[in-house]
Structure 1
């Protein structure tokens, strides 16, 4: 094997870490992803930086915390000046391409202010999160009384819509009517938006559904590019709507559903912010057994389909020789509560949501000794950008990228990362919960700091903290944040959060080396401050101010 020439960066959407067999699921067998784990390193403590699609991805793509890049929720644009992994990789001589989803929202106002034409090469990259686009498809061709959720609505520009129509899926919205819905004997569409239809087979051939389609597109990209490249192959599933085509729709039943991670005491004594999430419509729905019994088998079927497509992809990479020169990184943008902790969706900080699968396969000989191993290091998804820069042979710009390269771990040079805690943030100022709690937009924000023993959640708005003991309560059922005997632990965790908050994250226009040089550079440029006598400092600093002659001009120029 050789050192990696290319990077295949695979991301699934809303894939829970514990719904893969290599991470311990009892009934859902994922042999192809497990195979990748056997070829590389599986990370057991990989954390996202925000439990929602858009802001989580923006952190991964920029290598920066949400507090730094500012895109704190879906549809909040990434500032036009933020550099992304595409920018960093191109500086290192590696192309960076997108095949699939980003959830990127372009800063149109910022682009207009700077005169960036979105149809120009640089403008397109800025609008697409720094990627060159082979194909972008965020899915979600949803339409309501006030219009469409996604750009273009029913005139969606994504290739997948056109592909379905060309294949004969005749509808104004084939994404909904076929790929994400069932059909009854009378031809009535059974919309995948309604959870009761989750156990229906999607009205589409497996090969034409979203996951196989995007796998094909990824293979087409790889086949047509020599490299060096980074290909972000970004899947929409197993994100809702929870519906999957045959044969995956009935592979699993109620007997394969793991018991929910929750307790009545947890619900009864919940922190006000957490209780608000539990009582939301989504939380109430997923607290119901009938919803879980309809949804979870479909969710498992979607993951099984994803794994089968990974088998197809990995076999093809081996057949074409690309497995020998391509680093493969597989992860997710967040998890899914699925009724755990009385919640659905992902917008809180339990490991159910914030811990994600992360597998790194490095073809380098230096990684041979760690193949099939498991790392317990504290990893953040912002670590991927500096990892990729290092693989590309570039110098990691530490004044911009806030993560750390993972390469020392698979290459056997380290067992831990240079951090003692991880950070995750959630801005819920644009949600109904903020109104329910009577919070202003600057108060509706949450911060998580966790190490290997403790997890603390700070809630703005005058609320008490939440504290979990991850060692003695790994399922995070008992909140210790209001117990006096844990005051010292809470204070110690706040110290870690405050240390993180004090970092100079916005100082991105000068490197550390440049700043150190500036410490002594000013005097060498002629600025002399606080010097009483010219002989008090070295001659070289004042050589231009000594022995000079000038006429007496106190009365002004003469003649």
Structure 2
């Protein structure tokens, strides 16, 4: 079955990119003109949310179109089950070359592969190892010496760096993600106090530049064959360090004010309090740490924008922009000290809300170019959007998201969702140990409507935020007696969303109806008294 709609898809994801750290989303000092340019050609979604604010499960939802506890890859090291279908499984039958350049943060279901006797190096094994993508340049961007050795020591980016004159077994660690002290000593960016140093690698040899080059090489190599290129940048995710000149472009005058209050620490929700007590949160709660890390974080974003400008220029020069849908988003945000937290994981806007910009080159999208929408959208909406855009068959019995194509073409369906959903398995964190709960009980779920954000923690009180009167999410109403009715309503709506998941994935609804239609002709008669 050939492609009948959009020919190509460029699916860009930056890792740990906050929605509010782009100028088209309102950052007053971090100017991102190339991402802004994409927004002027497409639609900017102002309320886009991920299914989980953690790399692996979030990406699994982007790739499957299914929520986290539906697909089962609930954290970074949890494999996506063998039977789950991803973008490549849906698009390859159309002749679409579907490849990743950069990060997926997914691991294979090795037990299932071994049980079925599938060689991991076979075509099927390789596809399942790379969650359905061709691994044109698979690189998750986390290669400390110990982990690299455990993986066999092989990394294409390291080989390329050595060809450029960078010596050693792991130039990724010693050059791309390290600075240099006054006496020439190597200072690792794993330690946040070194984040404001320039990386020892030249800018043109950094991960962002390299991955952009590789994306262009993939598109050139593919030629006239339809393709989906998942350009998945490793940055601005930690280790936070940027090459010169990006390492010191921004100082305190360019920082967004930290968003936190003493009220949050006075009597916090127990789960929230346990996350505040983790080392990463205590570190980022210090102004000293935030002031050292933010210049690198912002510089890495600026660098991505510059290289995207190079990529967008090339697409326009070659005319490929006229046949390519471009999507830019992130897998989650970054607290950066907001709410007394570091990293991501919980459900404040800076963590669970992401940028989403979509450019559809077809004439049907002309009316929405340069516009924005406040429609509530989720990461799981992209797979059905890609299927509709390319003319692939729908998979409604599997997919839990819905296509945003109507929004791209100027129509908002009357039945569009009025709430977004996210969830987390926090079994892998020290916060769970501090709370003394079992691995299967460390679960939390969020439902966010226009006004309310409700967070349900299994075994603990909920959180509730009034986003109309408290948009900064500083006052938790989760145990306020005056809001019991609101919490009850939000809990019921959350339960409805949870029980609406699509778990019967091996049979379509039409097949179910057919079984009923065929019942009398099957010869199996149950409960009938006589002929």
Q: Distance in 2 between the 1:141 and 1:271 partners?
A: 35
TM-score (norm 2): 0.97
Paired position in structure 1 for 2:189: 192
1:210-263 deviations in Å (ceiling 9; x for gaps) = 001000000000111122111111110000111101111111111111110100
In 2, the alpha carbon distance for the partners of 1:192 and 1:198 equals 6
1:59-458 aligned within 5 A: 59-143=61-145, 147-148=146-147, 152-153=150-151, 155-225=152-222, 226-414=224-412, 418-458=416-456
Q: Say if 1:51 and 1:354, in contact at 8 Å, map to a contact too.
A: yes
Question: Is the deviation greater in 317-326 or in 412-421?
Answer: 412-421
Deviation at 1:135, TM superposition (A): 0.9
Aligned to 1:491: 488
1:482 and 1:60, CA in 2 relative to 1: closer, same or farther beyond 3 A?
A: same
- Aligned counterparts of 1:438 and 1:151: Cα–Cα separation in 2: 34
Does the CA-based 8 Å contact 1:375-1:415 persist in structure 2? Answer: no
Which whole-Å deviations, capped at 9, do the CAs of 1:108-141 have from their partners, x for residues lacking one?
A: 0111011111111111101110111111001111
Q: Which runs of 5+ in 1 are unaligned?
A: 535-559
Gapped regions of structure 2 (runs ≥ 5): none
Distance 1:533 1:277 in 2: 66
Larger Rg: 1
Q: Distance in 2 between matches of 1:19 and 1:257?
A: 10
Q: Quick check: 1:475 aligned with 2:455?
A: no
SS in 2 for 1:134: strand
**CA positional deviation for 1:95:** 2.4
Root-mean-square deviation (CA, aligned residues, Å) is 1.4
2: CA distance, partners of 1:3 / 1:365: 12
Residue in 2 aligned with 1:466? 463
- State the TM-score, normalized to the length of structure 1: 0.92
Contact 1:428 1:444 in 2 (8 A): yes
Per-residue CA deviation, residues 376-421 of structure 1 (Å, 9 max, x unaligned), is: 1110101111111111201210111110011111111326773221
Cα drift, residue 431 of structure 1: 1.5
Count of residues in Structure 1 that have an aligned counterpart in Structure 2? 527
1: CA distance between counterparts of 2:287 and 2:210?
33
Q: CA deviation at 1:191?
A: 1.1
Moved more, 384-393 or 31-40: 384-393
Deviation per residue, 1:432-481 (Å, 9 max, x gap) = 111111101121111111111111111112x1110011111111111001
2:399–2:502 Cα contact (<8 Å) kept:
no
On the 8 A contact 2:5/2:391 being kept in 1, the answer is no
